[in-house]
Amino acid sequence: MNEHGLIDSAVGKARAAAPMWAQASISTRTHLLRSLADALEAGKDVLVQLADDETHLGAPRLNGEVARTAFQLRGFAEQLELGKSQIRIVDEAVVGVPPVGRPQLTRVLRPLGPVAMFSASNFPFAFSVLGGDTASALAAGCPVVIKAHSGHPKLSQAVYDLALNVIENQGLPDGLLTLVDNASRGAGAYLVQHPDIAAVAFTGSYQGGTALWKLANERPRPIPFFGELGSINPLVALPHALEQNGEALANTLAASMTLGCGQFCTSPGVIVLLEGQASERFVGQLVEALAPIKTHAMLTAGILAGFEQASAHVGANATTLLAPGEADAGPAPRLYACDAATFVANPALREEMFGPGALVVKASDLEQVHQVLDAIGGTLTCTLWGVDQDTPANRALVHAAEAVSGRVLFAGVPTGVAVCAAQQHGGPWPSSTAPQTTSVGYAAMERFLRPVALQDAPVWAQG
Amino acid sequence: MNEHGLIDSAVGKARAAAPMWAQASISTRTHLLRSLADALEAGKDVLVQLADDETHLGAPRLNGEVARTAFQLRGFAEQLELGKSQIRIVDEAVVGVPPVGRPQLTRVLRPLGPVAMFSASNFPFAFSVLGGDTASALAAGCPVVIKAHSGHPKLSQAVYDLALNVIENQGLPDGLLTLVDNASRGAGAYLVQHPDIAAVAFTGSYQGGTALWKLANERPRPIPFFGELGSINPLVALPHALEQNGEALANTLAASMTLGCGQFCTSPGVIVLLEGQASERFVGQLVEALAPIKTHAMLTAGILAGFEQASAHVGANATTLLAPGEADAGPAPRLYACDAATFVANPALREEMFGPGALVVKASDLEQVHQVLDAIGGTLTCTLWGVDQDTPANRALVHAAEAVSGRVLFAGVPTGVAVCAAQQHGGPWPSSTAPQTTSVGYAAMERFLRPVALQDAPVWAQG
């Protein structure tokens, strides 16, 4: 079968399975989600070895990621048991003329249908075959057609085989989860435009994500496209925070910047400081903390090339604070600097460096900090250090941070995204194509549900 | 000032007012919403006269619409008092390593910012200057830039003047509500692409709506576009329902088809019947009920021309059951027929006739009914008559109806959309550009709010 034939077959199976899965009981869904988690953990040793061979992320991180992936699958099962897919609003009939008089209405949530899921390069477990998008779509009642990532094809196949085994053992249709493997870029386009695909979940680069988003919008019937596209994650550090605790904060920030060789969509990429002694000292501490850090190999040669190119672009438009030293297994960390006016004026400085690099932006006052955030426009996270007191200036800064981001941190670093109900991982464009939704945390399930109002429906139809 | 200058000025005022309004107290917002409702009712007599001159909809309907508009404004105020704009999810910190260990997270909702609101032709009050989109956006904390509809410019100005007076009397910034009047089509495009516009609400035609939706997506930073684009609203009537009650149902359906000269996005446009005696008799009853109905003038000459064109397209591809008689003030009702296979094969038959016309589709069995619904793909409503018993066939029909629509009715007719919390007015493409949202009912406010997660935030920042 050719590539399109394979996709037609996968989507056809998903379409056939959709009505059954949409109407499957909560216990059927939770049993599957929990069994997938169990199977993943049971296969951990072999899978982590495979993943490390393909991604270089190292066993400790990969074991942690398996734990996270299993936790997510079980977490969505719990959400189902809490009734989160069955939220109903009932308005009883009111006798009389409108606007007061009305029929009986029940608002229910219904699954969208088959979801095309594009795996991430940088989370071979947690945002791949059985990752957050798959878990939330399955929980919502949608079959998933998985586009495996070319960076870890063997792992994807192994996880898929394990999942399919669980599905078949439970007597469920194999169309619940299908894998489109070894597929070309054109195949991804074909999948997004397939008439039986009802929604797309994507985690990856701005370039790749927006290309597919455009294709989803060019369909005869456009469909929701949930794209998480990466981000530059500004961190604003006010002087008094740095005075108290500069060295420890510099070490924390350097570790966050270089974690996983900087291959996180929440990696802090822009550090906004107010001019002055405390900031100067902090920059020195940061350079000192970064310089000796050795990184592991990046996920793919393409990602390495992209990082070198992006950091060269930024470097060409800024001062270099830390020139990259000799590469270890992965590229050496690097740090650049510019002033706020230059940052605002030059879009090249807002390019994401997906890797261990960051840009220090020096603002002369808080107004310039606001201008910097405003220029960034959309980001997954914004971190504020030293914004603890309830003052008008701090409130304005929090408001500005909220206006451009999906998560505002008042301490710590943005890497590490907790899986919980309160999480929001998705901010204004360009960090997300659907900023009112999240791809991490339990609200992610809402992406795959659509409200339907049932008017004067018999009780059996209001389930 | 030229057209673009006027829009720049309006959006500039809206941008300036946005932070204040985003942070305004609930009582400030509810006071404004209720005062707008009061002012509208107080000015009713003059406004209804103006509206009737411009729209020909008649005083009874227009008085009802004022009541609905005031009801909506007050309804959103009540929603605010119920805390619907302040929904928070709190996850306390958990000590330990991830995935169990986590920081403290609070998920809050924040307004998107200035909303461009395109008024509808067919609801000069309820979906225009102070209509549902404006009420829900203001309630959410967003200033609104109103693009008045060219079909009722004097009314729009009069309602706006009244609203501005209320805003100024309450000492609120006039940027909360600005009016872009007498604007060309190019001006609408300029407004949608203005960098300080954060979202668009649109009610109107598929052609106009998708053109603006494309422009919103072509911005350097695309923004949410909530377009309600009209619909063909299938009504499936099973034989046993028609046997019991055919004549009354025919009268009800004829009245729904011709209400407001058929100028409703929920007007029933496709009547799906199973071949047989009961259906044949019903068709006769429907023709008889429709033939004598006189309509009022349509909203604009363009809408009349569009209706004549669309019904000619449908007529050219179908049998004519009721040829249009002599026009009264408005066009005469008309009814066409085709078989299910023809309907499925020919997209021209799925064109919306925005006016007093409908197409009867005759299916030979339930499987063909499913094929018809599937071909429709997206519609605001789907009405099912005779689907009362809990049988597998009925469940399958309900599932199929839910799959293509935002509201499924089990009795009555789709015209008349109750304003309440359970309402859903928005279905899959082409009926809506954002099928997971509603433009009628209290969930409409969610369109203008975005979740933000606050991590380790001080209490004052979690408000």
Q: A436 vs B449: CB contact, 8 Å cut-off?
A: yes
Domain count, chain B: 2
Q: B105 vs A64: CB contact, 8 Å cut-off?
A: no
Query: Average pLDDT by consecutive 10-residue portion of chain A (463 residues)?
Result: 90 97 97 98 98 97 98 98 96 97 98 97 97 98 96 97 98 97 82 97 96 97 96 97 95 98 97 98 98 96 96 96 94 98 97 97 98 97 98 97 98 97 97 97 98 98 91
Asked whether the beta carbons of A37 and A67 are under 8 A apart, the reply is no
Identify the CATH number of the domain in which residue B279 sits: 3.40.309.10
Q: Cβ of A350 under 8 Å from any chain B Cβ?
A: no
At residue B185 the predicted structure's pLDDT band, cuts being 50, 70 and 90, is confident
This prediction has a pTM of: 0.97
| B436 vs A68, A224, A419: nearest CB | A224
Choose the mutation target among B344, B424, B442, B447 for the interface with A, i.e. most A CBs under 10 Å.
B424
- DSSP 8-class letter at B94: B
A192 and A51 part of one domain: yes
Is the per-residue pLDDT at B183 higher than 70? Answer: no
In a domain, B414, yes or no: no
| pLDDT at residue number A182 | 66
Q: Which ranges in B195-238 belong to alpha helices (H)?
A: 206-218
| pLDDT at residue number B186 | 86
A 181-200: CB under 8 A from B: none
**Least CA distance to B397: which residue of chain A?**
A461
- Phi/psi of residue A225, nearest 5 degrees: -125, 110
Is the per-residue pLDDT at B222 higher than 90? Answer: yes
User: How close is the nearest chain A Cα to the Cα of B325, in Å?
Assistant: 32
User: How close is the nearest chain B Cα to the Cα of A194, in Å?
Assistant: 14
| C-alpha A242: how far from chain center | 30
Burial of B229 (0-12, 13-18, 19+ CB in 10 A): buried
Q: A458 vs B428: CB contact, 8 Å cut-off?
A: no
Give me the sign of the Cα torsion angle B364, B370, B375, B377: positive
B 215-274: CB under 8 A from A: 217, 221-224
ipTM of the complex in this document: 0.97
Is the per-residue pLDDT at B184 higher than 80? Answer: no
| pLDDT at residue number A384 | 98
**Least CA distance to B223: which residue of chain A?**
A429
| A455 vs B107, B409, B452: nearest CB | B409
Is the per-residue pLDDT at B182 higher than 80? Answer: no
In a domain, B327, yes or no: yes
Measured CA to CA, the distance from residue A25 to residue A77 in angstroms comes to 12
What's the one-letter identity of residue A436? Q
Mean pLDDT of B43-60: 97
What residues does A335 pair with on adjacent strands?
A: A322, A358
A119 and A169 part of one domain: yes
List of residues 6+ apart from A53 with CB closer than 8 A: A154
Is the per-residue pLDDT at B88 higher than 90? Answer: yes
B223 and B348 part of one domain: no
Active site residues of A: 228, 265
In a domain, B368, yes or no: yes
Q: A418 vs B19: CB contact, 8 Å cut-off?
A: no
In a domain, A27, yes or no: yes
Choose the mutation target among B78, B89, B452, B462 for the interface with A, i.e. most A CBs under 10 Å.
B452
In a domain, A421, yes or no: no
A218 and A196 part of one domain: yes
B225 and B238 part of one domain: no
- Phi/psi of residue B376, nearest 5 degrees: -65, -40
Q: B98 vs A423: CB contact, 8 Å cut-off?
A: no
Q: Cβ of A402 under 8 Å from any chain B Cβ?
A: yes
| A409 vs B428, B436, B456: nearest CB | B456
Rounded to a whole number of angstroms, the distance between the first and last alpha carbons of chain B is 41
Mean pLDDT of B122-141: 98
Within 8 A of A229 by CB-CB distance, chain B residues are none
In a domain, A418, yes or no: no
A 9-68: CB under 8 A from B: 19, 22-23, 64, 67-68
A314 and A386 part of one domain: yes
B202 and B258 part of one domain: no
Mean pLDDT of B344-358: 97
Measured CA to CA, the distance from residue A268 to residue A234 in angstroms comes to 6
B188 and B312 part of one domain: no
At residue B425 the predicted structure's pLDDT band, cuts being 50, 70 and 90, is very high
Residue A67 belongs to domain spanning: 3-229+432-462
| pLDDT at residue number B295 | 96
In a domain, A268, yes or no: yes
B123 and B88 part of one domain: yes
| A105 vs B223, B423, B454: nearest CB | B423
User: How close is the nearest chain B Cα to the Cα of A67, in Å?
Assistant: 7
A401 and A443 part of one domain: no
Is the per-residue pLDDT at B151 higher than 90? Answer: yes
Asked whether the beta carbons of A237 and A271 are under 8 A apart, the reply is yes
Measured CA to CA, the distance from residue A355 to residue A332 in angstroms comes to 9
| A103 vs B98, B418, B452: nearest CB | B418
Identify the CATH number of the domain in which residue A108 sits: 3.40.605.10
B397 and B261 part of one domain: yes
In a domain, A414, yes or no: no
Burial of B76 (0-12, 13-18, 19+ CB in 10 A): buried
B405 and B437 part of one domain: no
| pLDDT at residue number A405 | 98
| pLDDT at residue number B459 | 96
